[in-house]
Structure 1
Amino acid sequence: MIDRPSNQTTKLQATTPTVLPPMPLPVYLVPAVLLLVAAFASMPYGYYQLLRIAVCGAAGLCAFHSWQARGAWMSTALGLVAILYNPVFRIHLERSDWQIINLATIPVFAFAWLVAKRRWVHSL
């Protein structure tokens, strides 16, 4: 005999929101500001270690949040950013290359925040 779900379960699933609210703006803004400073200023080595930890952590957190919200392409892009800035298994590049990558990563965070915010606003 096939076991059918009760009406109570389907009502609960129908009222559960499918779209998560966006992460707070500082989660997207802090890494972007750190990346902007790193692109134009010559900082001590410790700053770049902090940069890797902050960007990797924020990108990983935002990728997981985007994945839970069913944003496969955005979670993939943020996951790649987290891998690129991983502080444990580092990717060694020249400073000029990192400047370009830092500037290219800023729009990824800005676009991720806009997508998450738009998804949340349209779900209301």
Structure 2
Amino acid sequence: MTIKILKITLALLLFLCLLEMPYGFYQFVRFVALIGFGVLAFKVNEVDNKPEVVIYGALALLFQPFFKIALGRDLWNIVDVVVAFGMIFSLFKKKYRDAL
């Protein structure tokens, strides 16, 4: 799986969180996000991009399903949209896109 596909998949899942879905879907998204952001942190660490490692690591912790952070539905929707747009925006960054 390429990094581009991973970012698009994460963005789509986060946008789907805006819809009324069963609770199990949100748990699934948390697991996928934890793994996905962990992989992204590992990959950007290989190209020595420390700020992105910290960002992806923090996102992995935020979305992890084991110790839930209760932000409320409205705030989680905002977080989902901001992170999803961040994933899409990061696809257009030229500097590290070719290295990954």
Q: What's the TM-score, normalizing by structure 2? A: 0.86
Other structure's SS at 2:14 match: helix
Which amino acid in the other structure matches residue 76 of structure 1? V
Deviations 1:79-107 (A, max 9, x none): 11111001112111211110001001113
1:22-73: CA deviation from partner (whole Å, max 9, x where unpaired):
x43221111100101112x110000000110111111111011111210011
Q: Which has the larger radius of gyration?
A: 1
For 2:95, the equivalent position in structure 1 comes to 118
Alignment match, 1:20? none
**Residue 109 (structure 1) aligned to one of 75, 87, 92:** 87
Matched, 1:86 2:64: yes
| Identical residues among aligned pairs (%) | 26
Specify the SS of the correspondent of 2:16: helix
| Structure 1 position 31 matched with structure 2 position 10 | yes
For structure 2, the 5+ residue unaligned runs are none
2-structure distance, mates of 1:112, 1:75:
13
- Confirm whether residue 62 of structure 1 aligns to residue 40 of structure 2: yes
Indicate the RMSD between aligned Cα atoms, in angstroms.
1.7
Q: Runs of 4 or more off by more than 4 Å in structure 1?
A: none
* Number of residue pairs matched by the alignment: 98
Match of 1:17 in 2: none
Name whichever of 101-110 and 65-74 sits farther off: 101-110
- Judge conservation of contact 2:17–2:80 (CA < 8 Å) in 1: yes
